[in-house]
Chains A and B, each alone.
Chain A
Amino acid sequence: MNTVAAEWIKLRTLRSTWWVLGVGVLTALGLTALGASTVISRWDPGRTGEQAAMGIVVAVHVGVVLAQLPLGMLGTMSISGEYTSGMIHTTFVATPSRSRVLLAKASVLGGLAVAASLLIAIPGYLYGLTVASAFDPTLPPVEAWTVIGGGMLGIVTTTMLGLALGATFRNGVVATSVLVVVMVLVPFAGRMLPGGEVVNSILPGYPALQLVEQMPDIMPDAAAFAVLGFWAVVPLLVAILADQRVA
């Protein structure tokens, strides 16, 4: 617990953390609000209250997925900044177990990613309810949990991947570039290339978009969750094992 508490102090005492979170959450909220208003104004007047509630949940979780890149970069910076400054040595002198340090960072960042998703989802949902009040939205249907879970796991996965890349490459620019290639460039290009579906179904970008119903289903939802879970855990484990070997 000491290590987790210390990593939380480290993260909260850097202004860049709050800038990244602020930019990520506010941009997502702003875009969600704009997008939700536009989408809702075009809804068929015959839409039921349950469909309206589902529509709001979807619109809000598009915002959550939009915030994943800033959070991923925060994950990267939380460790690459220590390597660049050399402070990582102080960290490892204080806590000789490198896996403990990395897992503590993962816990703190995972908590922040969940908090960020809630900071977007809850105000976004309340805003959507007021905009869509003419449809008398009910409580969201059961399928909404797929969207909520998909959005939340998506942002947590990207954050963990950012941390793992930062720990592996130890250089913020390199790690962030790889993160953007994996999360944005390849999924974007994959939509236009032959065989792109296969690539997209194993990378973490597409499954989150499928789960929040922004892309056609190319795999079962359970598979999409599994792929996201894989990318949240495996790169981090690889980073931990690689570190054990070096030192």
Chain B
Amino acid sequence: MIEVIGLTRRFGRSAAVDDLSFTVNPGKITGFLGPNGAGKTTTLRIILGLDRPTTGRATVNGVPYRTLDRPLTHVGALLDASAVQGGRRADQHLQWLARTNGISFRGINGLLETVGLGDAGRRRVGGLSLGMKQRLGVAAALLGDPEVLLLDEPLNGLDPEGIRWMRGLLKSLAAEGRTVLVSSHLMHEMAVTADHLIVIGRGRLLADTEITQFVRPGMSLEDTFMRVIEESAP
């Protein structure tokens, strides 16, 4: 479970996140939506302890991320899949990451198979396509078998087969009772993947509801989203 409570993050005078509160529950896929600059990535960074809030707090399973022991065994995160050093092999990337949290290397080959990189494990990361890096990032997030997953734009660079694979993976992770928070700009994909939606704009909460209740009658998710964003503009 992820809890964000009264979270505000100011950069200078402007607030990237403005008194934001929401809870992400286990057992379903929660879509995290908002236009560019809405504060999604800032919120995810604060949840992961990469940035400190100006006020408010964020907790994972009831405690701040930075106080978790062996955090990768509680939370798996995919932030920017292309943010990896290219000189290492894919399996070596997972090895150092596993070692930081005392996770055994034994699962790595299986994990590479799971994300469809079985043949690419011994290739250098720099030579992988964005879609393959995205799969490697998912493998990194799953490394510690965490109960909570935070995925920022996991569909970037994936081909149609990859998108279908990701949809199935997210659904199975949620069905296993995990907490799954996914940010995306792809409304058509969110419409068929997410169970619950958290929509933010200008750092503020615009909606926190089941997707079936969010989408207005006779409109698509995309149309509803655009309408909600417009209505929130000053």
A residues engaging B (CB < 8 A)?
2-3, 5-7, 9-10, 13-16, 81-82, 85-87, 89-97, 247
B85 and A82 form a contact (CB under 8 A): yes
- If A93-B48, A93-B49, A247-B51 touch, whether A85 touches B99 (CB-CB below 8 Å) is no
- If A2-B99, A2-B101, A6-B100 touch, whether A93 touches B77 (CB-CB below 8 Å) is yes
Contact residues, B45-76 vs A (CB, 8 A):
45, 48-52, 65-66, 68, 71-72, 75
Contact partner, A9, options B49, B50, B68, B92, Cβ 8 Å: B92
Q: What does DSSP make chain A's interface, helix, strand, loop or mixed?
A: helix
Instruction: Closest A residue to B82 by CB, please name it.
Output: A86
Measured in the bound complex, the distance between the Cα atoms of B84 and A10 in whole Å is 12
Instruction: Closest A residue to B78 by CB, please name it.
Output: A90
Measured in the bound complex, the distance between the Cα atoms of B66 and A10 in whole Å is 22
Contacts of A85 in B (CB 8 A): 83-86
Q: Is B88 engaged at the interface, CB distance under 8 Å to the other chain?
A: yes
Cβ contacts B15-50/A at 8 Å (1 or 0 each): 000000000000000000000000000000100111
22 contacts across the A-B interface (CB closer than 8 A):
A2-B100, A3-B100, A5-B99, A6-B97, A9-B95, A13-B87, A85-B84, A85-B85, A86-B84, A89-B50, A89-B79, A90-B83, A90-B84, A90-B97, A90-B140, A93-B50, A93-B75, A94-B72, A94-B100, A95-B100, A96-B66, A247-B51
Contacts of B100 in A (CB 8 A): 2-3, 6, 91, 94-95
Q: Is B102 engaged at the interface, CB distance under 8 Å to the other chain?
A: yes
Contacts of A95 in B (CB 8 A): 100
